[in-house]
Structure 1
Amino acid sequence: MPTLELDDLAGEGEAALVARGSAYAREYARIQGQQTTLLKNLAVVIVSLRIQRGDLRGASHEYRQIVADMYRAAGIDPDNSTNLQSAVRWHIGNLLRRAATPRELERADLKPTSPLERLQDARKVDAAIVKAAKVSAAADAAKSSRKKGTKTEPDVGAAIKATADHLRLAKVAADVLGKLDRHVITKDMADGQRKALDRELAAMERKIASLRKLTAPPAKG
């Protein structure tokens, strides 16, 4: 389909332009739907090839050559198929996590979570961090107000709010910690990054231990 210029449509009236625009939009929507199906089907083919060759990761030279030949037979130069391969990789990743067992994924050094799950987790992490920042800011503001002796609300109300803030902060902190991925820590992090994370976790442990001395129920007897 040739790309239009404004001069090409200079002689068309409003009704003709609207009809042309509707046709283009309809064709675009049709192609988009077909693209998704074709990408998913291509992913099934590629995962099938990996399973047949016992190469779930698709890292061997033989497998890569087969896929390159497949693209070349379709008239697609592998060196210029970045967008296609990136789009297919998403579906491959999701399909692999449904087709392989956790042990098979581990042997292939693949993350146990799919690209879709990682995207969802990333969004949850972002939301947890934003929530933590908001709750922390609210708690800091209340604490500052109490220190200055500001009478913006009754003392009983301030105590109730401070109590609720502390419970919310603890819940948010637990949520954020729960988002740490074991695979990322063991497989993706460099040694220096793991050491840095370990220092942060150790500091958390000390702070938690200090706070738990205040929350632990008194010993009986």
Structure 2
Amino acid sequence: MGIKEWVVPQDRIFFDLLEKQAETVVKGADLLVELVEDYTNVKEKVQLMKDIEHEGDEITHEIYEQLNRTFITPLEPEEISRLASALDDILDYIDGTAQQMHSYCIKETDDAMIELAKLIQVSVVEVEGAVKGIRTIKDPKNIEERCIEVNRLENIADGVLGRAIRNLFTTSDAITIIKLKDIYENLELATDKCEDAANILSDIAIRHS
């Protein structure tokens, strides 16, 4: 077997796993939007979210296992590891916020939660597109544009968070303030994690194009 034939399958393994991981993050974000828009059967939806998060963990573990076994990788091992970790972080915050809503016994969602969840959803679709783009990096400009869009969406999320917290402090229920503030901030942190992933993808596109 020649070196090319040995390397190419390894390329496919890492790109396949990263794309599968990104798809799992999108699945989690879709379920989050479904949860906040239709806040019924919460326990079942939260359990399904935990299942998705476990699926993501398994993919992340497989990526690390492949890195430990593979001598030649299509990208720098550190790039693969950082990207896998960043995607895992996004899903962790999505899942963590869903679990938080349930454990805090939130009775209903509000406009800020819905808006932030939708910003996460759009962001992870852009991240997924960029992840698919690094397989060949034929169009680094498209990857960069997706990453710029994720940064723009994160800035919007900052504004949504600020308004939501200002509105929250017009109320006098301290327990409600604490609960909702935690949820708003964790939703916004998920968009921060999307931005982290986008920055890694942008660096990869620049370095390998």
Task: Give the alignment's TM-score, normalised by structure 1.
Answer: 0.31
RCO higher in structure (CA 8 A, sep ≥6): 2
Q: Which has the higher helix share?
A: 2
Compare CA radii of gyration and give the structure with the larger one.
Answer: 1
